[in-house]
Amino acid sequence: MSTTQEQSFLGRGWQFPPSFLAEMSQVLISEQEDDINQSLEVLLSTRPGERIMQLDYGCDLTPLLYEPITLTLKTHMKELIGTAILLYEPRITAEEIKLEEQMSEGVILISIEYIIKETNARNNLVFPFYLNEGTNV
């Protein structure tokens, strides 16, 4: 398979969050592995029902915000994340999903190790899931 075909499979799209170059009237684009990582961030931060044309898209972790952190909760979170990736990110195969608590900061770090199907390259993403609502402190 040619490099051009591999790159087109990995995709390209608007950078997340959307950014613009005013002087050139252009939107910034992310490509290949960066596009996959940004797609995963969007997937994990979108609640089902937020996208008008794709009402099922997303991974709703918000009901878990105030639950005690137990093995059952972690298993449920991993299942939700794995299912969302399976359904909405066809470019990768999630190999391992790890959750690391940082209680002093009120964060669970979600670490996703994955393989890009087309290139068989390994990659990972660490996504912070905030247990406490942000403040202006």
What tokens were used for 52? Answer: 């008008």
Please give the residue range of the domain that contains residue 86: 3-130
Q: Is residue 82 part of a domain?
A: yes
Q: Is residue 104 part of a domain?
A: yes
- Backbone phi and psi for residue 68, each to the nearest 5 degrees, phi listed first: -65, 140
Q: Which of 83, 93, 86 has its CA nearest to residue 113?
A: 93
Q: Please state the domain count of the chain.
A: 1
pTM, entire model = 0.76
What CATH code is carried by the domain that includes residue 45? 3.10.450.40
Encode pLDDT of 56-113 as tens digits: 999 988 888 888 888 999 999 999 999 999 999 999 999 999 999 876 667 889 999 9
Are 19 and 28 in contact by the 8 Å Cβ rule? The answer is yes
